[in-house]
Structure 1
Amino acid sequence: MFRKMRRNKQLLSAEETIDILTKGTSGVLAVQGDDNYPYAVPLSYIYYENKIYFHGAKVGHKLDAIRKQPKASFCVIDQDSVVPEEYTTYFRSVIAFGKVHIISKESDMRYAIHALAAKFHPHDSNENREKAIDREWKPLCMFVLEIEHMTGKEAIELVRAK
């Protein structure tokens, strides 16, 4: 169902791929938008147990697209070092494919937003975190991308340097 990566020498191991997703703070979600145009939106996320969690509003293009077609891809760039004299970049990235679902159960939503908030402000108190979440709760929508396939890839120059 999913294509094999053409340049398989550049394929990262599952461990390296998961490490990139775990360390990353932002990525780009691509969904099928209005009039079947691709809609790619950058967002903050957290990776946990082969799933990517992110938030958004209860109205908008992203939500409408996900409701229409839950299939999506998500891309994270770990490294992108420009090497001008070689006319290239030394990169490391991950692309994940799967289906996005709106989290509807309140306890699951709270768990996901707490995990996301803790990733971005790990030293905040639980009390402060809870207050911030409560302030934004009413318009909040939480999503989960259940990963069906993912690949990590790096520049051939990085492969050769190993």
Structure 2
Amino acid sequence: MFREMRRKKQQLPNEISERILETGLVGVLGVTGDEDYPYTVPLNYVYENGKIYFHCAKTGHKLDGIQRNNKVSFCVIERDEIAAEKFTSFFRSVIAFGKAKIVEDGVVKKHALMLLVRKYSPGLEVEGEKVIQKGWNNLNVVEIEMDHVTGKEAIELVNNKEF
């Protein structure tokens, strides 16, 4: 169903891919956009137990895309250093494929929002909870249940762990 990585030597072990998903700060969501054009958007997210969560407004391009086709991709770049003299870059990234849905369960929604608060505003949980309560009716939480994940790094990183 999902393609095998062509350059298998560069494939990251699952535990490293998962760590990148856990620690990454920005991911890029890909959905089927208007007129079937791909639509990608960077966003903050949190990863827990094989699921990615992010919050968004009640309406918008990404939600329209998810409602049209719930199959999405999500990319996180951990490293990307340009090596001009080598005409390459030293990269490490993960791409996840899965199905997205709006979280309807209030307990799960609040849990995901608090995970986001802890990740992006540590130590401000009380204040974050107040912000969540204030905006509760004006936001959605989207959950991506992952079907397939692959991580990849530059061959230079594979061959020489000094980079």
Query: TM-score category by the smaller chain?
Result: over 0.9
Distance 1:15 1:83 in 2: 27
Provide the residue aligned with 1:142 in structure 2.
141
Provide the residue aligned with 1:57 in structure 2.
57
Deviation of 1:109 after TM superposition, in Å, equals 0.7
Provide the residue aligned with 2:157 in structure 1.
158
Deviation of 1:135 after TM superposition, in Å, equals 2.0
Distance 2:136 2:48 in 1: 22
Amino acid at match of 2:130: K
Distance 2:137 2:157 in 1: 46
The alignment status of 1:43 with 2:43, answered yes or no, reads: yes
Provide the residue aligned with 2:130 in structure 1.
131
**1:108-119 mapped onto 2 (5 Å cutoff):** 108-119=108-119
User: How high is the TM-score relative to the length of structure 2?
Assistant: 0.96
**1:95-114 mapped onto 2 (5 Å cutoff):** 95-114=95-114
Q: Say what the alpha-carbon RMSD is for the aligned residues.
A: 0.8
Unaligned runs of 5+ in 2: none
Deviation of 1:44 after TM superposition, in Å, equals 0.3
Distance 1:33 1:23 in 2: 28
Unaligned runs of 5+ in 1: none
1:122-161 deviation per Cα after TM superposition (whole angstroms, max 9, x unaligned): 111x321211111221211000110000000000000001
1:2-46 deviation per Cα after TM superposition (whole angstroms, max 9, x unaligned): 000000000000111011111101110000011100000110000
Distance 2:3 2:10 in 1: 15
Deviation of 1:101 after TM superposition, in Å, equals 0.8
Instruction: Tell me the percent identity.
Output: 50
Deviation of 1:58 after TM superposition, in Å, equals 0.5
Provide the residue aligned with 1:90 in structure 2.
90
Distance 2:29 2:129 in 1: 27
Q: Is 127-136 or 109-118 further displaced after alignment?
A: 127-136
Distance 2:97 2:84 in 1: 32
The number of residue pairs the alignment matches comes to 161
The alignment status of 1:32 with 2:32, answered yes or no, reads: yes
User: How high is the TM-score relative to the length of structure 1?
Assistant: 0.97
Distance 2:111 2:71 in 1: 24
Distance 2:86 2:127 in 1: 49
Distance 2:129 2:158 in 1: 44
